[in-house]
Amino acid sequence: MNKPKMAAEKSASRVLMLLSQLERLNEDHKVSNNDAIRQITGKILHLLQTQEKTRKEVTSKGSGGMEVILSSLENTQDLQTTLNILAILNELLTVGGGRRTGVFVSKGGTAILLQMLVSSSKNPPANEELMLHIHTLLVKVGPKDRKFGVKSRLNGALNVTLNLVKHNLQNHKLLLPCLQVLRVYSSNLVNAVSLGKSGALEIMFEIIGPFSKKSTTLMKYVVCSSVLCVCSSGMNARRAVDRGYLPTLLSIYQDWHRHDTRHRHVVIRKSILACIKNLTNIKLGRKAFIDANGMRILYNTSTECLAVRTLDPLVNTSSLIMRKCFPKNRLPLPTIKSVFHHQLPHIAAGGPVAQLYNQPPGVDDVVDESDENEATEVDTENETEYEDDETGHKTQNDDDIETDIKKLRPIQVNTRPFDELRAYEYFCREFSEIFEDNDFESPRSIIPPSSDNSELHRPIIIPTTPSSLGPQNRRPLREDLVTPRPDESPLELDSISISKRPEGTADHDLVCSLGRLVVDGGVNGGSVDGLQDEGGEQAVLEVPDTAALLPLHDPDLYLEMVKSTRSVPAYTEVAYPDYFGHVALNLREPILERVYGVQRMKIFQDIERLIHSSDILDKVVYDLDNQSCPVTDNGESLKFNSKFESGNLRKAIQVRKFEYDLILNSDINSNHYHQWFYFEVSNMRPGVRYRFNIINCEKSNSQFNYGMQVLMYSVQDAINGSPHWVRTGSDICYYKNHFSRSSIAAGGQKGKSYFTLTFTVTFQHKDDVCYFAYHYPYTYSMLKMHLQKLSALRTAQIYYRQDDLCETLGGNSCPLLTITAMPESSSNDHISQFRSRPVVFLSARVHPGETNSSWVMKGTLEFLMSCSPQAQSLRESYIFKIIPMLNPDGVINGNHRCSLSGEDLNRQWQSPNAELHPTIYHAKSLLQYLRATGRTPLVFCDYHGHSRKKNVFMYGCSIKETVWQTNANTSTCDLQEDLGYRTLPKLLSQMAPVFSLSSCSFVVERSKEATARVVVWREIGVQRSYTMESTLCGCDQGKYKGLQIGTSELEEMGAQFCLALLRLRRYTSPLELQNHNSHLLDTENDLIDTRGIPNITSTTTYVLEEDEAAFLEEVDYSAESNDENDPDLEPDLQDNLALLDPSSDSEFSRQDSVN
Ligand SMILES: [Zn+2]
């Protein structure tokens, strides 16, 4: 040991003088010194015990006191001296613990104690006081020494302590610190296993026992917490279950629950539960729990605890255990493959679709056939859950960031011969168009807004079916109408039937008639007219007059558009909200505050299904797999429907009188990816709380846990003048349920569960028809309607052209828009200015479930077609190439993520297949053509929606920021990179209230190498290539902070994007660069500030997934639903140990003893 340097000279302090004497005596090893040392240490101890300040003096920085004390301890052979020094240390480490204990550990104190423990055990019987002192110190030191576990094992201390416990079961004074030390030992997993083998569990279960008020309570608590630690190893848990300890623990828990009426021993009760929880981490334990009637025991005890808030920890832990042990169910489906199938032109071998359909017939894909083995199960459960980006590929941390500089650099070669691209010249006719003089004079094709509007203002009168046709008659008729036609040819519509009962008839009938807006495909073509004649009486269904507020909406035009929309199920119905239109609410819709305990309450209701299984109706009321469902209708069940464009609901099961389990349909040619829902509900009772559970959600977390509500549209409200999608639902939460996921749909992982989204709704009106959706619906037919309306806004100044980029797999066209300003005249100068405008390339809705991206796109398009001077100036600045819907088929068929090929189109940009991914193939080819003709776009932006984050933000591409993120060597930072990619997001953050710069990221991830953003950046060479993500939930900053997002905010965002492009023009135009030089430099400086220090990347958040970033907000969700961690338990234990421990080092107990 180094020679300690005492700093006593200056101080007259007595304790320091004593210490320097001790130091001198240590130096010459004379036997005669023993007495002196004994005396001095005794005096020091006395001083420490009587004078508070002396403790500070001994351990003050630079005093060297700790070294002297430790070296005395190491050197002495005298028992009394040893005891003195141990007592001194106990005094020192009692108060101001952290730092002093740290000093003690750093000076090697732990090892000295452990060696002393082991060596003194070699001559039994060990001195009890010595053992007491050593263990009391170890309890304090152990948790602060990171290597304590290893040190104690290597020194052989584990068994010494364990043997002490064995031989002192009745000696509580010594037993307690020993058990505490055992607990600290076993926080190291290897130690826990070793202790388990040495019989630690058996010993502890001799002590653990039923309720008692005596001093043994503390003991029992300590035993429990030790068992808890020992059982953290699976092997020990198995040992404990084998020995039958689980029923024992359950009955001990019940006993404490019954007798601890004043709740003084919640800590003990919780630690018993925590032991049970550890044992049920293994399958064997879960079985033992069920066999021991654990569900009922914990359910009953918990319900009795619910009223007392301080018992929440018990309820929460119980609920966690019950959820874990809840027998896994299979989803009530014949297969998880989509109900609908679309024959592909070819199936790529080894692709997801090939895998899907190459399963041998008869394979049950709903649950795994093989029994998962324990080892893999534990592995997957222990694994921190990764957020998949819905592709099933595991992406983790830095591994996912692109580190290959070559791959980060743009590819400078054209990979395709120009001849192949020449065909795309057709989509760029503006560059070669010959403008005639009269192009600038005649306002050709201008439809004056006034004349258009006057048409729209008239009430739309739709003939209804006559009164003679009662509901009993109408039903089968409707059934006929909705029967999908075998071919998928577009509907040829001659008539539209909207039926409504005339005044004075039964209300029930109104429901029926409101229930269907059927696009008559000619199946009953003649009958509508005939019936009208027959009945004579005509009821009028007034379509809400949305025209004034929705200039782009027209119900008649909408139906017209529907006719040419081809869906796989050959839909014949139209959803009312799409037909009537949605007018943005003028009302603020705040992000919901999460109600305390809502998840727990829902889970208890779920557990009741098991406990009171006879109360469960289990009645299937809607089932796409079985078209004849429902067979009977007693009027007591809700009616569901999803057979319309963008609809998604596969099955509805009435569980209890007012509770329904809902199952979503997988994307077509896929067996998962569901999240989007859109369905109709009728036959409701007003004023009753209905609970809906979507039980096959796949994501591990959702904004539904953070204040997002579902959307509802009431047809009654619409007719009464409020045609709005409204955020609805209370008691909303999202949690892991007991329906097991087949590994086939979980990326090969076994033992995964689905998640439940639950919400409760009270309907306002009798006989209403209501619609629910994940987000504001935006159908393909709606896009076509909007485009038709937009084209009518064209003026002599606007160049607007709509082409069909290609036909999709489903036979729908993919519109491509070209918008710019007409040249001022046909003069050469003007034509050349026109042709030299930079191209801005925009796209949206590659992911069908992200309807918000369509609303943002609508905002962009409306701005571009508006007559404001800014819009004109923007059109004069750029040529816009816009693909507003990259995945029409997915949108039409109610998919969430994929196209009809069963693939995520935003992962196909690297090598899109012309047949399977036509929209991507042609969009990329068009971009390649632009590049080949020297018109590489200035900006590319693909609009998306984000289900896990708030606000709107962008992902871009930067080599430097990617390299920094990987902490690669600094030499690569010499890379030259234009910072232009930062300008647009920065402008947006200054202009758009929903936009958040701090959520933006410019890191290129390997898992994103096939996305539009990365491919367009790398292969097309667009430096400003972005994904723009809009929240589905709301904002936590800016003007709309605390509010859920609505369509007007989304549309505003689309318009702001245009304004930001207008400003961007200033930074990118060489001419004007001079004028705005200073302003530009400011921006550049800002940028340099943030990039100067690689570690401070506050403006860049590295996010794993483009669409589904890891969730960062704090909520009780993970603690409650994660099987493995109970983060609040450990600190709890520490605190309570300190309070309960009689030898406690808290200030509290010291004051007590002083008084
Ligand atoms: Zn997306």
Q: How far is the CA of 1011 from the centre of ligand 1 (A)?
A: 10
pLDDT at site 174: 86
8 A C-beta contact, residue 652 and residue 640: yes
pLDDT at site 347: 83
pLDDT at site 968: 58
Q: What is the pLDDT of residues 1095-1118, one digit of tens each?
A: 333 333 333 333 333 333 323 333
Nearest CA-CA partner of 902 in 1126, 665, 699: 665
Alpha carbons 638 and 617: distance in angstroms, whole number: 13
Could you tell me how far CA 588 lies from the centroid of its own chain? 25
Q: How far is the CA of 990 from the centre of ligand 1 (A)?
A: 24
Alpha carbons 623 and 209: distance in angstroms, whole number: 53
pLDDT at site 390: 30
Q: How far is the CA of 846 from the centre of ligand 1 (A)?
A: 7
User: What are the CA-CA distances from residue 1118 to residues 278, 701, 1102, 1114 (Å)?
Assistant: 17, 9, 21, 9
Q: How far is the CA of 897 from the centre of ligand 1 (A)?
A: 8
pLDDT at site 1093: 34
Q: How far is the CA of 413 from the centre of ligand 1 (A)?
A: 29
Alpha carbons 651 and 143: distance in angstroms, whole number: 53
Q: Name the token pair of 1043.
A: 């509010």
User: What are the CA-CA distances from residue 30 to residues 35, 65, 78, 85, 1077 (Å)?
Assistant: 10, 22, 13, 19, 84
Return all residues near 1069 (Cβ < 8 A) that are at least 6 apart: none
Q: How far is the CA of 1107 from the centre of ligand 1 (A)?
A: 5
Burial 497-530 (b: 16+ CB within 10 A, else e): bbbbbbeeeeeebbbbbbbbbbbbbeebeebbee
DSSP for 983-1026, written as a single string: HHHHHHHHH-TTB-GGG-B-PPBGGGTTSHHHHIIIII--SEEE
Return all residues near 262 (Cβ < 8 A) that are at least 6 apart: none
Q: How far is the CA of 748 from the centre of ligand 1 (A)?
A: 23
8 A C-beta contact, residue 857 and residue 1046: no
Torsion of Cα atoms, 845 then 851 then 852 then 857, to 10°: 40
8 A C-beta contact, residue 877 and residue 919: no
8 A C-beta contact, residue 849 and residue 895: yes
243: helix, strand or coil:
coil
Q: How far is the CA of 849 from the centre of ligand 1 (A)?
A: 8
Alpha carbons 743 and 301: distance in angstroms, whole number: 35
Return all residues near 30 (Cβ < 8 A) that are at least 6 apart: none
Q: How far is the CA of 403 from the centre of ligand 1 (A)?
A: 24
Q: How far is the CA of 847 from the centre of ligand 1 (A)?
A: 5
Q: How far is the CA of 698 from the centre of ligand 1 (A)?
A: 16
Q: How far is the CA of 414 from the centre of ligand 1 (A)?
A: 28
Q: Name the token pair of 511.
A: 């429901």
Helix-helix angle 216-230:1129-1140, to 10 degrees:
150
8 A C-beta contact, residue 508 and residue 767: yes
8 A C-beta contact, residue 761 and residue 712: yes
Return all residues near 316 (Cβ < 8 A) that are at least 6 apart: 600, 1119, 1120
Burial 85-94 (b: 16+ CB within 10 A, else e): bbbbbbbbbb
pLDDT at site 72: 85
8 A C-beta contact, residue 785 and residue 561: yes
Alpha carbons 385 and 395: distance in angstroms, whole number: 11
Asked whether the CA dihedral 15, 17, 21, 26 is positive or negative, the reply is positive
Alpha carbons 924 and 912: distance in angstroms, whole number: 8
Q: How far is the CA of 1099 from the centre of ligand 1 (A)?
A: 22
Q: How far is the CA of 699 from the centre of ligand 1 (A)?
A: 14
8 A C-beta contact, residue 924 and residue 425: no
Q: How far is the CA of 1012 from the centre of ligand 1 (A)?
A: 11
User: What are the CA-CA distances from residue 233 to residues 163, 187, 230 (Å)?
Assistant: 21, 10, 7
Return all residues near 937 (Cβ < 8 A) that are at least 6 apart: 838, 839, 840, 841, 881, 927, 930, 1016, 1020, 1022
| Ligand 1 ion: nearby residues, β-carbon < 5 Å | 847, 850, 944, 1107
pLDDT at site 426: 95
Within 10 angstroms of residue 843's Cβ, the number of other Cβ atoms is 26
User: What are the CA-CA distances from residue 448 to residues 441, 444, 795, 870, 961 (Å)?
Assistant: 16, 11, 9, 21, 50
pLDDT at site 447: 39
pLDDT at site 20: 83
pLDDT at site 1136: 36
Q: How far is the CA of 1087 from the centre of ligand 1 (A)?
A: 28
Q: Kindly report the backbone phi and psi dihedral angles of residue 1130, in degrees, each rounded to the nearest multiple of 5, phi listed first.
A: -60, -55
Alpha carbons 1105 and 1099: distance in angstroms, whole number: 17
Asked whether the CA dihedral 399, 402, 404, 405 is positive or negative, the reply is negative
In angstroms and rounded to an integer, the radius of gyration of the C-alpha atoms of the chain is 37
Nearest CA-CA partner of 289 in 260, 256, 318: 318
Alpha carbons 641 and 656: distance in angstroms, whole number: 20
Strands 678-682 vs 651-656: parallel, antiparallel or unpaired = unpaired
Q: How far is the CA of 1016 from the centre of ligand 1 (A)?
A: 16
Alpha carbons 693 and 734: distance in angstroms, whole number: 9
Q: How far is the CA of 609 from the centre of ligand 1 (A)?
A: 37
Q: How far is the CA of 1007 from the centre of ligand 1 (A)?
A: 14
Alpha carbons 804 and 789: distance in angstroms, whole number: 17
Q: What is the pLDDT of residues 833-846, one digit of tens each?
A: 999 999 999 999 99
Q: How far is the CA of 944 from the centre of ligand 1 (A)?
A: 4
Give me the active site residues, please.
1029
Q: What is the pLDDT of residues 728-740, one digit of tens each?
A: 999 999 999 999 9
Element (H, E) at 641: strand 639-641
Nearest CA-CA partner of 1024 in 993, 984, 1063: 984
Q: In what order do the strands lie in the sheet with 689-697?
A: 619-623, 651-656, 659-663, 689-697, 753-762, 730-740
Q: Kindly report the backbone phi and psi dihedral angles of residue 217, in degrees, each rounded to the nearest multiple of 5, phi listed first.
A: -55, -45
Q: How far is the CA of 146 from the centre of ligand 1 (A)?
A: 44
Q: What is the pLDDT of residues 331-361, one digit of tens each?
A: 999 999 999 999 988 887 777 778 777 777 6
Q: How far is the CA of 946 from the centre of ligand 1 (A)?
A: 7
pLDDT at site 967: 64
pLDDT at site 97: 59
Q: How far is the CA of 1031 from the centre of ligand 1 (A)?
A: 11
Question: What amino acid occupies position 997?
Answer: L
8 A C-beta contact, residue 430 and residue 878: no
pLDDT at site 997: 95
HEC string of 343-394 equals CCCCCCCCCHHHHHHCCCCCCCCCCCCCCCCHHHHHHHHHCCCCCCCCCCCC
467: helix, strand or coil:
coil
Q: How far is the CA of 671 from the centre of ligand 1 (A)?
A: 19
- Which residues of the chain are under the pLDDT cut of 70? 1-12, 29-32, 96-97, 124, 213-219, 361, 369-399, 412-415, 441-543, 630-633, 967-975, 1069-1155
Asked whether the CA dihedral 991, 992, 993, 994 is positive or negative, the reply is negative
Q: What is the pTM of this model?
A: 0.77
Q: How far is the CA of 824 from the centre of ligand 1 (A)?
A: 39
Q: How far is the CA of 381 from the centre of ligand 1 (A)?
A: 28
pLDDT at site 216: 64
